[in-house]
Amino acid sequence: MSDAFTTRVLHIASGAQEKVVDLTRDCESFLRETAAGRDGLLNVFVPHATAGIAIIETGAGSDDDLLAALHTLLPADDRWQHRHGSPGHGRDHVLPAFVPPHATLPVVSGRLELGTWQSVCLVDTNVDNPDRQVRLSFLG
């Protein structure tokens, strides 16, 4: 495979509760190994119908605020037509319309170009599937 395009799959154990998992260090580590000081793009993709990728501030309560906002927008109750798994699981299948399953980010001189408080995060509300994959791809 050309070194202009490199990909790696992360295996994330998100657990049995809704959570926001910060992937920023994993992304930076991947770029240190693959970008070799080049400019390009990092694509982060979660191949699951019930999870998404968000660029948000973490550690100051924003991750909990995001989960609370998702509960308001997408309550875990019996209103959903998609009905299997945990109560309200149908909302997990609507999540990617609000938190997309991908993000494409600039890489300059081999470094991820995020704002001061931005982090790359997996958003997982599906408590029935605690094992996730996240594909990192660098094109540069």
d(CA 23, CA 39): 20
CATH of the domain at 53: 2.60.120.460
- Number of structural domains (the chain) is 1
Q: What is the domain extent for residue 107?
A: 5-139
Global pTM? Answer: 0.93
**What's the confidence (pLDDT) of residue 82?**
85
The per-residue pLDDT for range 59-75, each reduced to its tens digit, is: 899 999 999 999 999 99
Average pLDDT, the chain: 94
pLDDT band at 53 (very low <50, low <70, confident <90, very high): very high
Q: Which one-letter DSSP state was computed for residue 90?
A: G
**pLDDT tens-digit series, residues 73-121:** 999 898 988 888 888 889 999 999 999 999 999 999 999 999 999 999 9
